[in-house]
Every structure is written in structure tokens, then in C-alpha cells.
Amino acid sequence: MACLSDESWVSLPKMLSERLTLRGGDQNEEEELKKKSFVESKRTQYRIEKVFPVYALGISKPESDSVVNSGDLIADPIWDAVKEEAKLEAEKEPILSSFLYASIMSHDCLEQALGFVLANRLQNPTLLATQLMDIFFDVILHDTGIQHSIRLDMQAFKDRDPACLSYCSVLLYLKGYHSLQVHRVAHALWSQGRKVLALALQSRISEVFGVDIHPAAKIGEGILLDHGTGVVIGETAVVGNRVSLMHGVTLGGTGKEVGDRHPKVSDGALIGASATILGNIKIGKGAMVAAGSLVLKDVPSHSMVAGIPAKVIGYVDEQDPSLTMKHDATKDFFEHVADNFKDGRSTGGQESGSGKK
């Protein structure tokens, strides 16, 4: 059973050139191999050098899947980076060498290492780590969508969180990443009709990580759950690709109604800390919701909203503010609010004074 499916669409020309071995005989064979290598490199070149940022940065996904394959070897640069970083960390901190070996270096692929890490984070006396590993392995290794997502999410954490030291630290320590990947497994189980098991995983995510995501909620790829603490996402919520959610964000309903009742967050949106978004409303593409806002109405694409209730205060220049993570865009708004507050107090004071007279 392969760790990274042959249906993987990501390939990198640089890795291709490093892993392909030219075995020649005469000059004609060498020329043919050179031509073939050139054609392959052109076919797989996506013009970006980083790992997986083609989709993460908003460029459309290739129409057909492609794979870097030399014999049985499939290129997986993120997993290669994780292993290399783990080796370096083991050298720097020998006391962690056993932990790093068990969590990373003893595994054949990112899927296995992730399953091991998640199982050991979520285990309890009645839900054993070995049982959880079987669940995670069975789902992840048979779902190419999750295989793509765990890498795109890891890239998102590495690129957008300045406190993130390495890919290795994302895999081992960041609970926002952990809760997101367990949700992906729970969502797959929910879609298969295994709802009781999916809800059990949701419960463990909430207990261990302080993140509550209903297994029916649909979440895209390249997601950042920064810190993760206090994030609540309801049953019918939808989160698009390349979205960044800060801690304390709520995507909730407005009452006891059933049916489609939760927010829909479009691609590239940035949702600030402790923002509350309620009801079946839409947050447009590339929109930004300021920290602490209460959003009750649709938010236009590429707009900035802030306040209680939230109002449009301007528009962002970035295509995807979730990638730039610029939270200071509401400075003018707060200065404006402060000025209005001062004016209101002074006006109110004059009116009350005249009334007494």
C-alpha cells in the first residue's frame, strides 16, 4: 500500500532532475533520454519553486494528475524536509531522539507519521492509540484528497505563521494543524455513514485541543488554524481554500433552526481572532473580518469589515489577505471610531447640560 498515492498531482521539475538517473549506452540513447527529460520537465513545470504552493497560492490545480516517479520512488519534498529536520533536531537535542525517531524517522511516509502523532495525542484509556492509528491509516491512505490537504495545510502553517520554526514542528506540536487533520478523517467517516465514530473523534478533538468542528462541516485546502484554541465550526459551515482562521473564531448558527444554517467562508478570506460569524451568510472571496467583530450579514468580496455588528470599512488590495496575514488594516477604522466616540461624548455632555438649565 503506497503512502503517497500514484494519483498525486504535484510534481517538481527540480526534484525530477535530481531523482532521474540517466543510464546510457551509445550517444543516440543519451540524446533520446535528454529529449525525454526536457519534455517531461516542460510538462511538469508550474513556474513556482516552493513545495505545493501552486494550489496554496491560488493558481488553479492542474487538470490531470502527474507524478514524479523513478522506479518505485515518488517525490515528496515535504516529507523529505520533515525527516531532515527531525534528524537535525535529534542531533541538537539528544534527549528528544527517541521521541523524534518514534514519531517521524521510523515511518515510511508523512501519512504514517501523522497517524502516529495524532493517535498518541488523542488516545485515552478506552480509545487506544493502536485503534486510532488503524482508523487514521485506513482513511488517509485511501483518500488522495486528504493526502493533498495534509501537505497543503502544512505549507500554509509554515508560510503564514512567523512563529512556526519548521515543517517538523507543524507535524509534532501545532494543535491547530492536528485538530484540522483529525477533522478531515472525521469528515470522511461522516461521509461514509460512520457518524458515531466521527462524533467520537470530534469529542476527542474538543477535549484535547479545545477546538470544536462538527464532522459534517466542509473545509478546503491550504488552511491555517492559528493557535486553534476556541475555534467553533458548525455542522453546515463551509470553509474554502487558502483561508486563515485565528483563535476564538466562531462559525455558528443563530438559533434552533435546522437545515443549512451556518456561514460560508470563501477562498482566501482572513478571519481575525475572536470574530463571531452567525447564520447562513457568505463571507466573500479575499474578505477580511477584523478581530472581535460580530458578523450577521453577507460580506462582499475583498472587503474589510469590523465592529459589533460588523460594517464594511474599506477594501483590501491583496487577492488573498489570508496569505499576507496583515491584521493592521483596520487601524484607520478604530481611529475613526475613537474620534466619533469623543465627539459623541462632548455633544452628549452639552445637550445634557442645556437640559438641566
pLDDT of residue 142: 93
H or E segment and range at residue 82: helix 77-92
CA-CA-CA-CA dihedral for 287, 263, 228, 58, to nearest 10: -40
User: pLDDT tens, 29-82?
Assistant: 565 555 555 444 444 443 333 434 433 333 334 343 433 333 345 688 999 999
Which of 259, 291, 263 has its CA nearest to residue 278? 263
Instruction: Decide: 262 and 246 in contact? Cβ < 8 Å.
Output: no
Instruction: Decide: 297 and 277 in contact? Cβ < 8 Å.
Output: no
Which of 158, 135, 160, 136 has its CA nearest to residue 147? 136
Cell 525530477 belongs to 16
pLDDT of residue 49: 37
User: pLDDT tens, 168-220?
Assistant: 999 999 999 999 999 999 999 999 999 999 999 999 999 999 999 999 999 99
What angle is formed at CA 57 by the lines to CA 54 and CA 61, rounded to 5 degrees?
A: 40
Instruction: Decide: 244 and 219 in contact? Cβ < 8 Å.
Output: no
Secondary structure letter of residue 101 according to DSSP: I
Cell 438641566 belongs to 356
pLDDT of residue 16: 36
pTM over 0.95: no
What angle is formed at CA 216 by the lines to CA 121 and CA 191, rounded to 5 degrees?
A: 95
pLDDT of residue 72: 45
H or E segment and range at residue 169: helix 167-173
Judged by DSSP in three states, 241 sits in coil
Task: State how far the Cα of 215 lies from the Cα of 199, in Å rounded to an integer.
Answer: 7
Judged by DSSP in three states, 346 sits in helix
Cell 459551515 belongs to 237
pLDDT of residue 45: 40
CA-CA-CA-CA dihedral for 319, 275, 167, 17, to nearest 10: -20
Task: State how far the Cα of 266 lies from the Cα of 217, in Å rounded to an integer.
Answer: 14
Task: State how far the Cα of 21 lies from the Cα of 33, in Å rounded to an integer.
Answer: 10
What is the number of H-type helices and E-type strands within the chain?
13, 17
Cell 470553509 belongs to 239
User: Could you say which residues of the chain have pLDDT below 50?
Assistant: 1, 5-25, 38-72, 330, 349-357
Which of 134, 24, 20, 107 has its CA nearest to residue 69? 20
